[in-house]
Amino acid sequence: MHSTSNPNTPLPAALLEELQNMFGNRLNLSLAMREQHGRDESPFDVAPPDAVVFANSSQEVAFVLAQAHQHRIPVIPYGAGTSLEGQLLAVSGGLSLDLSNMNLILQVNAEDMTVTVQPGVTREQLNEALRHHGLFFPIDPGANATLGGMAATRASGTNAVRYGTMRENVMALEFVTADGEVLRTGSRARKSSAGYDLTRLLVGSEGTLGVMTELTLRLYPLPEAVRAATCSFASVDAAVQTAMLLMQLGVPLARCELLDAQAVRAVNARDRLGLRESPMLLMEFHGSPGGVAEQVETAETVASEQGGEGFDWADTPEQRSRLWAARHHAYLSALLMRPGCRCVTTDTCVPISRLADNINASIQEVEAAGLPYFIVGHVGDGNFHLGYLIDPTLPAEREMAERLSEQMVRRALHMGGTCTGEHGIGLHKQSFLLEEAGEGSVDLMRRLKSVFDPHGILNPGKIFS
C-alpha cells in the first residue's frame, strides 16, 4: 500500500495532512485502490471514493470519523466488498474506511457460548477457530463475508431457518458514532430489558448510523449427528411444495435450500459435482442420531409424495463441505455460465404459504421475457434469490431485468412479504422500502439517522436518499 499524491482529490488539504500523519502508507489515494473499494457485487457503476484508509483499531476508526465529521466528508465502512445492493459505493465521494485489518478474535467464552470479534473477522475464519471448542457460528451468507458487514446488512444464509439471522445472533456491539465517540450496546447476557435495544437498531443499518468495531456473537454447540441430502424434482413447484410441507409439519430442518435447473447446471460446471440437472432441494438435519433418523424418514416420505427422487446422502464432513461449498458458490458459478455478464439479483421473502405462488409467477415472467436467469433460495423460511444474467453492453437487458425485479418485489409485498430478506436496501431498493414501510415510518428512520449522524457523513445515499 502506498500513499500516492493526487492533486485532483477534492478532500481538504488539512484532512489529508491529519490522515497522512496518523496512517502513513495506510492512507491510499491511488486510482487502483480507490476503484477496488468503489465497487461491489451490485450492477451499479459509481465513481470511486476519494481515498481509502485502512484502520487497525477502534481508536483509529474514531480518529477518522472525528476528522471526517469536522470536515463534513462522507465515510463508507468497507469489509470484504461482497454486498449486492450497492451498500459500499461512494455515491457522494469521501473516504472508504477499510476494516479488514481489524480481524482479531478477541475472546471465546465457551461456557457461555459467546465470542467477541473485530469486524474484519470472516465467517470461515471464525468457525475454523471455534472447531476445537466444539462450537460454531451458524450465519453463512454465500460469500466469505466479514462479520461486521454481515451485521451491517442483517445477513442470514442457509442456516437461518433453524438458527435465525444476524439480528438474533448479535448480542452486543462496540461502535463509533459519526463524531468519533466510542460506545457500547448490549451485553453477554442471554436477555435484557434495559432501555432501547440499540444493538438491533445498529444491526441492519448498513453503516448509516455508526461504524461497528467489536461484535459479541451467540454460538451453538456442534450437533451430535449431521446428515445432508440432495433430492431432485420434476419442477421447481414440487420442490417448493416439499419444503413448505416439511416446515408445516414442524420438521426442525437445519438447512433447506432450493436450486433450480440452471443453478444446478452452473455448480456442476464449476465444481464437477455430477448432480442431476433438474430442480433440487439440498437439505441438512442436525440433532441426536435418533432425532436425525426420524427427520430423515419424514423428509423422504414427504419428498416422495411430491415426486422427489434420487435421494443422495452426504454423511461425511468432506462430502457435506463439498456440497455446501458448491451452494455458497452458486452466484459466482452462475456468472461463469454467461461470460462477461453482470447479475441483477433480488431476494424477496414471503410467508411460507405464498412462496410457491411468488416463485412460479416470477419464473413465468422471466421465461416469457427470454432473459437468462437462475434461482437459489432459503425456501425453508420463504426467502429466495432470482438472478438475471444481463449483458452490460445492452441497456435493454438491464431495463428488462429491473422491470422483472420490480414486478417480483411488488408481488411479494402484496403477499405480505418484504422487498429484501437478507441483502438489505442499499441503493437498489429504496423505492420499495417506501412502499413496504410507508412514508411515515421512513421519515422516522430519516429522523433517527439525523440524531446519530447530524451532518449525514455515514454512508450517505443508502437506505433512503
Q: Which long-range contacts (CB under 8 A, 24 or more apart) does 359-368 make?
A: 359/236, 359/237, 359/240, 359/384, 360/236, 360/237, 361/408, 361/411, 362/386, 362/404, 362/407, 362/408, 362/411, 363/236, 363/260, 365/404, 365/407, 365/408, 366/404
Q: How confident is the model over 333-356, as a mean pLDDT?
A: 92
Predicted model pTM = 0.92
Architecture of domain 105-221: 2-Layer Sandwich (3.30)
pLDDT value for 8: 56
Q: How confident is the model at residue 314 (pLDDT cuts 50, 70, 90)?
A: confident
Percent above pLDDT 90 for the chain: 86
Q: What's the pLDDT tens digit per position in 281-297?
A: 999 999 999 999 999 99
Q: How confident is the model at residue 4 (pLDDT cuts 50, 70, 90)?
A: very low
pLDDT value for 322: 84
Q: How confident is the model over 378-393, as a mean pLDDT?
A: 93
pLDDT value for 5: 47
Q: How confident is the model over 19-43, as a mean pLDDT?
A: 95
The fold for domain 13-98 equals 3.30.465
Instruction: Single out the residue of 101, 24, 2 nearest to residue 58, CA to CA.
Output: 101
Q: What's the pLDDT tens digit per position in 258-288?
A: 999 999 999 999 988 888 999 999 999 999 9
pLDDT value for 315: 80
Q: How confident is the model over 445-455, as a mean pLDDT?
A: 97
218: left (phi over 0), alpha (psi -120 to 50) or beta: beta
Architecture of domain 223-335: 2-Layer Sandwich (3.30)
Average pLDDT score over the chain: 94
Asked if the domains at 105-221 and 223-335 fall in one CATH topology, the answer is no
pLDDT value for 291: 93
Q: How confident is the model over 127-142, as a mean pLDDT?
A: 94
* pLDDT surpasses 60 at 38: yes
Selected residue with higher pLDDT from 40 and 129: 129
pLDDT value for 3: 45
Q: What's the pLDDT tens digit per position in 200-245?
A: 999 999 999 999 999 999 999 999 999 998 999 999 999 999 999 9
| Segments making up each domain of the chain, as ranges | 13-98, 105-221, 223-335
